[in-house]
Structure 1
Amino acid sequence: MPEISSWQPTASLDNLRRRAALLADIRRFFSERQVLEMDVPILSRRATSDPHIDSITANCSGEVAYMATSPEFGLKRLVAAGIGDCYYLGKAFRNGEAGGRHNPEFSMLEWYRVGWDDHRLMIEVGELLSWVLKIPKVYSYSYRALFLQHIGVDPHRASFEELRAEVARVLELSFEPAGRDECLDLLMSHHIEPNMGDGITLVYDFPATQAALARVEEDELGVPVARRFEAYVKGMELANGYWELTDAPEQQRRFEADHRYREDNGKPVYPFEDRLVQALEAGLPDCAGVALGFDRLLMLACGAGRIDEVIAFPIERA
């Protein structure tokens, strides 16, 4: 195969045409449902506090600014201001993310539905994915049900020792997991996700310790769970949705907890989005929101194995 010059796109022209068509199709999907497309800043004086995501910094008129890791904060501020159902379809940026499914600059679809909870939004996510990917089968499982099916333990009640034993039983690792959540993440990503099958799988009621910006409520067994969900297709995570937290003091507490975690683990500490706390104080209506990786969705639609097959110029050629 002849060497491709570095000025050329890594994606085929056919895939780039499919990219354009999918962008148009998604915009039509939301237009028909009367969900407004919104533009929010991708350059901000605030950054993510998520301990597992790092922002890309920029020098802006002599001040430090941050490239948005998602449009979440801006969209929530608009919902609090009364804009109603809305979505963003555009660029987001994350530092240190590169590989077969990642690029530091990527495209994200994120939308919010006022008056909805996570279960109602799950249905719409399933409808969108089924329509785009032509996959009729959509399965929904609680996080507990998946672990009982694939591992045989209740993830909400199992001890660290029990989970660590299950990790040792089903995985070959060169290190010891540091805690319960690391055990759960390893079992999910390395054992459960690869065995989900070819349909669309929606997983809900995650452990309360993994709530991020979602509400925490008791499930039918009286166990506190995070009211959030994730969507998978062929073992690839595509979307992460929340029944959104509307409690301003709790939001402040979680931001501060994220900061302490970052400090304790030697990670960069950024100024968090205090304006989101102000928006919650003003009154964020009950709503559910979800972020979906557009490039990954396109990979599945095109049958591509790597993200550079569906974007013109990944970081190596940017």
Structure 2
Amino acid sequence: MAGPWQPAADMLRLRQRARLLAEVRQFFAERDVLEVETPLLCRATGTDPNLDFFSSQFHSPPHAKPLFLQTSPEFAMKRLLAAGSGSIYQICKAFRNGEAGRFHNPEFTILEWYRVGFDLQQLMNEVADLLSSVLPPMQTLQTSYRQLFVQVTGLDPLLFERSAYRQFGLEHGLPEADALCGDDHALWLDLLFSHCVQKNMPGDTVCLVHDYPAIQSSLARIHPDDCRIAQRFEVFINGMELGNGFYELCDAAEQEARFDKEIAYRAAHGLAAVEKDALFLQALQAGLPECSGVAIGLDRLLMIACGCDSIEEVLAFPIARA
């Protein structure tokens, strides 16, 4: 009988993981994108109220300093971009507290890259190229968030009418939605998209969903032609989210204002207090080059490549065996 000391993934899956990492590195080597490493243990973390984090203490007598395991390497990578690195990528661990389940492990492997001079369309095209190089052949669909949301729900995600959203929830097995979401438009969108829209995406298709509502995009630029839309996209396969990309915000003052708004939201909702990443803001003030960036969950990508139903099938030691 298999004991808990043994890996959850079989050796075939572990060899497939090694091959996937090699293919990803070859993809970026052919495009002259520099591989980098940044700290996973840092003095600050993100302010996103949707993410919880792991904290620790660094004992440096006579003081003890709080440090945080990063939910993403984004801020440190942008400091490299501001220092003149050019286009970069990183494969590393990321950590998100409270996330465990079929598609989640609190410690997971992330691929994050930034392309200097790329707009969002160019980056979406490169994401499609990467996925086609590591997955079996499948179609690619690019669609706006609004078009997809309206198609599935009949609701306009850019115009919030609570009564219409409430009625949709009641008619589609979400009677608790109104009590949970109230007048929070962004929360309504998260709930309806994850419970209704994602499961209606076409199968065996790389779905690149772009032009997200601005209320959901704290690190992306606002669309120049419509302030209700942010220059952000997400990539899905079989309804599972694989990655999140932005035409990156370069304005330090605007970024700090968004951080302040998220910190205030955290305080109002009893979430863990965080401080703004001062070094990241200094990098933005020094000048972030025009760029687009994206993060892809490699464990989920491996699930797609292997035809697995649970993230534990592609991890040597998921949290239950760590």
Any unmatched runs of 5+ in structure 1?
Answer: none
* 2:15 equivalent to 1:17: yes
1:8 to 2, 6, 9: 6
* C-alpha distance in 1 between matches for 2:318 and 2:248: 33
User: Could you tell me how far apart the structure 1 residues matched to 2:111 and 2:166 are?
Assistant: 36
Q: d(CA) in 2 for partners of 1:101 and 1:53?
A: 16
Q: 1:175–1:139: structure 2 CA closer, same or farther, 3 Å change rule?
A: closer
Does residue 1:48 correspond to 2:46, yes or no? yes
Question: In terms of mean alpha carbon deviation, does 123-132 or 39-48 score higher?
Answer: 123-132
CA distance in 2 between counterparts of 1:21 and 1:243 reads 30
Identify the match of residue 156 of structure 2 among 149, 154, 157: 154
Q: Deviations over 1:175-211 (max 9, x none)?
A: 4222222221122111110110121100011111111
Give, in whole Å, the separation in 1 of the partners of 2:227 and 2:173: 28
Aligned equivalent of 1:30: 28
- 2:219 is the counterpart of 1:210: no
1:231 corresponds, among 218, 229, 235, to 235
**Equivalent residue letter for 2:3:** S
Q: Find the aligned partners of 2:197 and 2:313 in 1 and give their Cα distance.
A: 26
Q: Give the secondary structure class of the aligned counterpart of 2:211.
A: strand
Task: Tell me the secondary structure at the aligned position of residue 316 of structure 1.
Answer: helix
Query: C-alpha distance in 1, partners of 2:112/2:136?
Result: 21
For residue 8 of structure 1, report the CA deviation from its aligned partner: 0.3
After the TM superposition, which segments of 4 or more aligned residues of structure 1 sit over 3 Å from their partners?
none
Distance 2:90 2:207 in 1: 24
Q: Specify every segment of 5 or more residues in structure 2 that has no aligned partner in the other structure, as ranges.
A: none
1:291-306 maps to which residues of 2 (within 5 A)?
A: 291-306=295-310
1:66 is matched with: 68
Residue 181 (structure 1) aligned with residue 186 (structure 2): yes
CA distance in 2, matches of 1:141, 1:28: 29
Counterpart selection for 1:260 from 261, 264, 289: 264
TM (normalized to structure 1)? 0.96
CA RMSD in angstroms, aligned pairs only: 1.3
Output the CA distance in 1 between the equivalents of 2:100 and 2:72.
17
The match for 1:166 is: 168
Is 1:276–2:280 an aligned residue pair?
Answer: yes
Partner Cα distance (1:236, 1:248) in 2: 33
Contact 1:193–1:235 (8 Å) recurs in 2: yes
TM-score by length of 2: 0.94
Amino-acid identity (%): 47
CA contact (8 A) 1:156 1:223 kept: no
Shift of 1:157: 2.1
> Contact (CA 8 Å) 2:169, 2:177: kept in 1 or not?
no
- Does the CA contact (< 8 Å) of 1:113 and 1:121 recur in 2? yes
Partner of 2:88: 86
